[in-house]
Amino acid sequence: MLQPLGDRVIVEPLEGQDKSPGGIILPDTAKERPQEGKVIAVGPGALNDKGERVPLPVKEGDIVIFTEFGGTEIKVDGKKYLIVDERSLLAVKEA
C-alpha cells in the first residue's frame, strides 16, 4: 500500500450508500465542495521549525470532512482514493 508523505493522508471517499448513516449531506453544486471520506493511511506530519514532525490530528479509520481542493486523485487496484493535505481536513466525525 501507499504511505503518504509529510502532512498528507490517503482518504477513501464515501459516496451514496457508503456514507455515514443519519448523516452528513455535502452540497455538490460546486467543484471544490467538501467531501466525506475514511482515512486509510496517515503521513508522519510536517516538520516544524525545531525539526520535529507535527503528528496529524486524525488516525486510520476516522471519518473526515475535507475539501476536494488540494486533494489528488489516484486509483489503487481499481478503487478511487484521494491524497489530501492537513490544511484540507476540516472536521472529524466523533464516535
Binding site for a copy of itself (CB under 8 A): 1-6, 8, 10, 22-27, 33-34, 44, 47-52, 54, 57-58, 65, 67, 72-78, 83, 86, 89-94
CB of 33 within 8 A of CB of 25?
no
Q: In angstroms, give the least distance from the CB of 47 to a copy of itself.
A: 6
Q: In angstroms, give the least distance from the CB of 73 to a copy of itself.
A: 6
CB of 9 within 8 A of CB of 48?
no
Q: In angstroms, give the least distance from the CB of 92 to a copy of itself.
A: 5
Mapped onto helix, strand or coil, the DSSP state of residue 19 is coil
Select from 15, 12, 18, 8 the least CA-distant residue to 58.
8
